[in-house]
Structures are given as structure tokens and as C-alpha cells.
Amino acid sequence: MPYLHRTEGEGLLMSRRIDARRGRAARRDAARDERRARLHVLLARADRGVLTPEDCAALRLGVEAEIAESNTHRRSAGGQQAAATRLHARVEAAEQAIVETEQRAETAEQLLDALCSTRTYRDLLAEQLAERHGPLVDEYPPAFHRLLDHVAEQLAPRAQQ
């Protein structure tokens, strides 16, 4: 009978894939157990010195099969270890990015608090523009001064919080 499970947002699903994997794994385990049992019999015969040429061939095939399976598992484990190492590096990079983002957010909040607590917003904006673009801010066209007023009005509600 297939394994049944419930997933979020979906009804019951029959997971034949899981059953198929379990079946293949069980068949591989049974074949390995049988092969190892035959190897134990052949090794016992070798200890007694009664191996026939057919037994020697069977022993060789069994040992080669064990070596091949061992190599397969070693490669798989190596790949899994490399994947885990890559994921670990990605997690560390993500954690570092979170720390940097939190630091930037804190700095932005501090700057905004400082901006909201000083004189008028318009004066502060004009000072910062003068620092960056020269002292000719007062000579800018009226549209520019209206923009300064608009930005100051947008920042005013933050100061009241």
C-alpha cells in the first residue's frame, strides 16, 4: 500500500515515489546481504583450503562487487559533503548580509532621528545641499525651494512619532 501523507494546501497524496525508493533500497540491501553471506562461506572454505576454481571465481566477483559498491557510496558521500560545505558557505554569507543590512537600517534610523530632531527640515536640507553642491542654494529657482518645502513636509510626521 502506498504511503499517504498530507501536505499544506493539498489533499491526501499517494507517494509512490517514496515507496519505490524504499523498495529499491530494500532490494539492494537484500542483494548485499546475500552477497556477503556467500563471501563468508567462500572465505570459510579458503581458510580450510578447499576452494574450487569455481569458488575462486565467485570469490573474486563478490569482492569486486563489494569494491564497486564501496566506491559508489564513497563518491556519493563526497558529493553530499561538498554540497553541505557549499550550503554552509551560503548560510554564512546570508548571515553576514543580514548583519550588514541591520547595521545599515540602524544607521538610517539614527540619521533620520537626527534629521527629525534638528531645526527645521527645510534648513537642514538646504545645508546638506549647500555642502554637496555649493553655497548657492538660495539662488536656485522657486521650484527648487518648493521641492525642499515638500520634502520637509513629508518628513515632519516622522518627527511626531
Q: Which residues contact 126 (CB under 8 A, 6 or more apart)?
A: 137, 138, 148
For residues 140 and 133, what is the distance between their CA atoms, to the nearest angstrom?
11
Three cell numbers written together for 123: 534648513
**Pair (82, 122) in one structural domain:** no
DSSP code at position 13 = E
Segment holding 70, helix H or strand E: helix 53-117
**Pair (135, 104) in one structural domain:** no
Mean pLDDT calculated for residue range 85-106 = 94
**Pair (130, 111) in one structural domain:** no
The residue range of the domain holding 71 is 52-115
**Pair (107, 63) in one structural domain:** yes
For residues 22 and 3, what is the distance between their CA atoms, to the nearest angstrom?
11
Residue with cell 523498495: 23
Residue 70 lies in a domain: yes
Three cell numbers written together for 109: 534610523
pLDDT in the model for residue 103: 93
Mean pLDDT calculated for residue range 145-150 = 73
Residue 90 lies in a domain: yes
**Pair (159, 111) in one structural domain:** no
Cβ atoms of 51 and 42 closer than 8 Å? yes
Cβ atoms of 130 and 160 closer than 8 Å? no
pLDDT in the model for residue 97: 95
Higher pLDDT, 96 or 7: 96
Tens of pLDDT along 106-143? Answer: 988 888 777 666 556 667 666 777 777 666 656 667 77
**Pair (74, 111) in one structural domain:** yes
